[in-house]
Chain A
Amino acid sequence: MSHYGFIFAAYAVTAIVLVGLIAWVVADGRTQKAALDELDRRGIRRRSDRAS
């Protein structure tokens, strides 16, 4: 008794969601890093950075 369509669908959904989650987290990290770099280029720094 095997139901390969259900097995394939379960693994496919899992792969899509987990790969999507990883891609979203990595892309968000790059967006935030780019925003920090842009502020740094404009000379806007954190108070703690200015103090050091």
Chain B
Amino acid sequence: MIELANPTRFMALSKRLLPWLWAAAALVTIAGLVMAFRAPADYQQGRTVLIMYIHVPAAWLAMMCYTIIALSGLGTLVWRHPLADVSARAAAPIGAAFTFLALVTGSLWGKPMWGTWWVWDARLTSVLLLFLMYLGLIALWRAFDDPVRAARPAAILALVGFVNVPIIKFSVEWWNTLHQPASVFRLDGPTIDPAMLWPLLVMAVGYTLLFLALHTAAMRNEIMRRRVRAMRVRAAGGVLAPAE
């Protein structure tokens, strides 16, 4: 981790790591899809259960990505880590995309199973709120010309918004919702048949590897963008804001 603390070292290490991450993400996701399409149909849902293999990992990634943004916010505010704000800013559009996928695939699963595209229950509403939080963070970063000045307010907003993540996780237990309760991460073990659980877990690993590849590539882009900006400002005789 100490090696990665320097943006220059991060750029060198990530350049070597990135092709392996892309390849691993593609291989594991393809393996997960093959396993999913070979898994048995659900006794109630039939083949519609196929939507689970893309909906559930997207929902997990939506929450994981926001957790990474909140931890990065902590890194910005407490340790002033040079890569913390870069990490948060790079993760936000990716998290928004996974949250969007969780909402859309959930809606496409809900219509045939529940008979409705949408209900304002606690789980669905809190995930919609997560999506709006992502958009708010992206808007906040874009509102500042200087990314260094945007770092602290964005970190505070990200940390305040993190309260929504446990609400999403436990909403199905705290309130009466149309959404089913947790069936994988439970104290008494998963309630899904292993024939469906394994493809789901492999898909989740594939999505996680894809996120890591996207996040690493987006962090590299953000570092380059800041270098370009700093060099242009300096070339124009301007003065940069002091780094956090």
- Give residues in A with beta carbon < 8 Å to B: 1-4, 6-7, 9-11, 13-14, 17-18, 21-22, 24-26, 28-29, 32-33, 35-36, 39, 42, 44-48
Contacts and interface: CB of A to CB of B under 8 A. Distances in A.
Contact of A48 (B8, B48, B221): B8
Contacts of A22: 214
B47 A29 contact: no
A14 B54 contact: yes
Interface of B: 8, 41, 44-48, 50-51, 54-55, 58, 93-94, 97, 100-101, 104-105, 108-109, 111-112, 210, 214, 217-218, 220-221, 224-225, 227-228, 230-232, 234-235
A25 B211 CA distance: 12
A25 B109 contact: no
B45 A10 contact: no
Contact of A6 (B8, B97, B111, B231): B111
Given A1-B45, A48-B8, A13 B108 contact: yes
A7 B231 contact: no
B51 A1 contact: no
Contact of B231 (A9, A14, A28, A46): A46
Contacts, number: 91
Contacts of A3: 46-48, 112
Contacts of B232: 39, 44
Contacts of B50: 7, 10-11
B218 A18 contact: no
Contacts of B55: 10
Given A10-B54, A17-B101, A44-B235, A25 B217 contact: yes
A14 B105 CA distance: 8
Contacts of A11: 50, 54
B224 A33 contact: yes
B112 A25 contact: no
A10 B105 CA distance: 5
Contacts of A9: 108
A29 B8 CA distance: 16
